[in-house]
Each structure stands twice: as C-alpha cells, then as structure tokens.
Amino acid sequence: MFESLSARLKDYFSKLSGRAAISEDNLHPYDNRERRFRHDDSSAGKGRAIVAELLHIDQHAADQASFDLSYFSGGIGVIDRLAISLPANAELWSRVSGALKTRLLSDVPPEDPLHEDILWLLTGEEDLVPLQPAAVRFLNRERKAFQSECVETDRIMFNEYSNVNAWTALWGTDTKLNYLYYDQG
C-alpha cells in the first residue's frame, strides 16, 4: 500500500514540475550532460512533444510554440530551465493554469504563505512590496528573447508550490501565453 501511494505521489509531483517523464527518455540520468531542445534546431520534434506533455496541451498547440528547454543533472544535482511561448485563447489558459496549479498574483493575499515565498523569490527581501510590479521585473530578467516582455497589465501566475529553488510562472495576454520553469534540486 505504501509503495503504491509513494509511486502515485512521485508521479503526481513529477507531472507538476518540469521533470515529467517524457516518453521513455530519461532527461535526468545524472551524467553531467545538458539535454537541450529548441524550437529552431533539429530536436524540435522531440521538444514539441515535451512541450505538449509539460503544458498538458495537444500536439497542434505545441506545434505553434517557441521553446528552449534545458535539462541538466549530475554531481551538483538537477538544474532545469524551461521557457515556452505560444498563441493562446481562454481555453488554453484555463487548461494550462489548472494543470500547473498556478494562481494569479492578485489572488494571493499577504497572509498566505505563498505570498512570502513569492516575495522572497521575486525580490530577495522580506519587506512587503506589491507582487505584480516585482514579478514584472523578475520575469523580464528571466525570460528568453522569444518570449513577450512582461508588463503590469499581463495576467501573471505562479505555481502554488513556487519558491526560490523551484518555480513555475505564466504570464501574457488573452492571445499569448508565456511559461518559465526553474528547478535547482
């Protein structure tokens, strides 16, 4: 019984993160090598399959994505840096944000423990500052060139388990969704 629950929990948390088991490939064999997939290189097909699985979207939507996915594992642990941008609509936003368990920053009150974790991630400070402008600065610093610039009027969401070591962010407009994921574990 315990093994079954443990396996189910591991699978669940794996799916929430960028560490999802993609097909039969092991993206973290701990061999001190980076595995990288970009929308403009020869591994684009495999990368698009990873995008579809990460965001819980169909292959057609993934085919329209720009992405840069970097998976590293070795003696220092795991460092994943994932960036995706794609055309969006209300259904795609709902599907992706629900599957990734994200919350709008405006829905995170100061007394919520997530507020403190997000604030520390965004600013490295404990002083209360408005999350939205801090997130704009943070996301613009972290984003890839193919991702749209983050502005204060964007929808900005973070995974409910985000902290300084592992985080997932979504931002964009009704017609564009940007995704960033970082994990150092």
pLDDT one-digit tens code per residue, 32-48: 889 999 999 886 899 99
Half-sphere exposure of 159 (CA within 13 A, CB side): 23
- Integer Cα distance of 9 and 147 in angstroms: 32
Banded pLDDT at 26 (limits 50, 70, 90): confident
SS3 content of the chain, % helix, strand, coil (to 5): 35, 30, 35
pLDDT of residue 7: 46
pLDDT of residue 25: 63
Q: Token pair of 21, please?
A: 């088991």
In percent, how much of the chain has pLDDT > 70? 86
Nearest by Cα to 179 from 108, 110, 88: 88
- Integer Cα distance of 158 and 141 in angstroms: 16
Tell me if 49 sits within 8 A of 55, measured CB to CB. Answer: no
Say what the pTM is. 0.86
Q: Token pair of 25, please?
A: 């490939």
Q: pLDDT (tens digit, 9 = 90+) per residue, 78-108?
A: 999 999 999 999 999 999 999 999 999 999 9
Banded pLDDT at 169 (limits 50, 70, 90): very high
Q: Is the pLDDT of residue 63 over 70?
A: yes
DSSP 26: -
